[in-house]
Amino acid sequence: MIEVRSLVKKIGAQEILRGVDLEVARGETLAIIGRSGGGKSVLLKHLIGLMKPDTGQIWVEGQNIIGMKERSLASIRQKVGILFQGSALFDSMTVAENIAFPLREAGERDPKLLRRRVTEILEVMELQGEEEKMPVNLSGGMKKRVGLARSIIRQPSCILYDEPTSGLDPIVSDSINRLIRRLQQRFGVTSIVVTHDMKNAFHVADRVAYLHEGRIYFHGTPDELRTSTDKLIQDFLLGRSEEQLTPKAFGVES
Ligand SMILES: Nc1ncnc2c1ncn2[C@@H]1O[C@H](COP(=O)(O)OP(=O)(O)OP(=O)(O)O)[C@@H](O)[C@H]1O
Ligand SMILES: [Mg+2]
d(CA 254, CA 247): 6
Confidence (pLDDT) at 47: 95
Query: How many domains is the chain built from?
Result: 1
SS3 24: strand
Confidence (pLDDT) at 140: 87
Query: Radius of gyration (Cα) for the chain, nearest Å?
Result: 19
Contacting residues for 45 by C-beta, under 8 A, at least 6 apart = 51
What string of H, E and C letters represents the secondary structure of 95-135? Answer: HHHHHHHHHHHCCCCCHHHHHHHHHHHHHHCCCCCCCCCCH
Query: Which comes out higher in pLDDT, residue 76 or 242?
Result: 76
Best residue among 15, 41, 160 to mutate for probing ligand 1's pocket (most ligand atoms within 8 Å of CB) is: 41
Host domain of residue 91: 2-250
CB-based burial of residue 245 (10 Å sphere; 0-12 exposed, 13-18 middle, 19+ buried)?
A: exposed
Model confidence, pTM: 0.89
**CA separation (Å) from 219 to 1, 33, 142, 160, 209?**
17, 10, 32, 18, 4
Nearest residue to 176 (alpha-carbon basis) of 157, 203, 206: 203
Best residue among 10, 11, 35, 47 to mutate for probing ligand 1's pocket (most ligand atoms within 8 Å of CB) is: 11
Q: Residues with beta carbon inside 6 Å of ligand 1?
A: 11, 16, 34, 36-42, 85
| Distance of CA 232 from the midpoint of ligand 1 (Å) | 21
Nearest residue to 164 (alpha-carbon basis) of 202, 193, 135, 192: 193
- How open is the CA angle 188-191-196, to the nearest 5 degrees? 145
Per DSSP bridges, beta strands 29-34 and 207-212 are parallel
Tallying the residues shown for the chain, one arrives at 254
Nearest residue to 60 (alpha-carbon basis) of 47, 42, 43: 47
Helices 170-187 and 140-152 meet at what angle, rounded to 10? Answer: 10
Q: Which residues of 94-129 are buried (b: 16+ CB within 10 A; e: fewer)?
A: bbbbbbbebbeeeeeeeeeebeebbeebbeebebee
The overall average pLDDT reported for the chain is 91
Confidence (pLDDT) at 239: 83
SS3 210: strand
pLDDT tens track for 110-160: 999 999 999 999 998 889 999 999 999 999 889 999 999 999 999 899 999
Neighbouring residues of the ion ligand 2, judged by CB less than 5 Å: 40-41, 85
pLDDT tens track for 153-184: 998 999 999 999 988 888 888 888 888 888 88
Give the percent of the chain with pLDDT over 70. Answer: 95
d(CA 7, CA 160): 18
For range 199-219, the mean pLDDT: 92
Confidence (pLDDT) at 124: 85
Confidence (pLDDT) at 246: 64
pLDDT tens track for 69-96: 988 898 898 899 999 988 889 999 999 9
Confidence (pLDDT) at 53: 96
Q: What is the CATH number of the domain that holds 65?
A: 3.40.50.300
d(CA 66, CA 87): 25
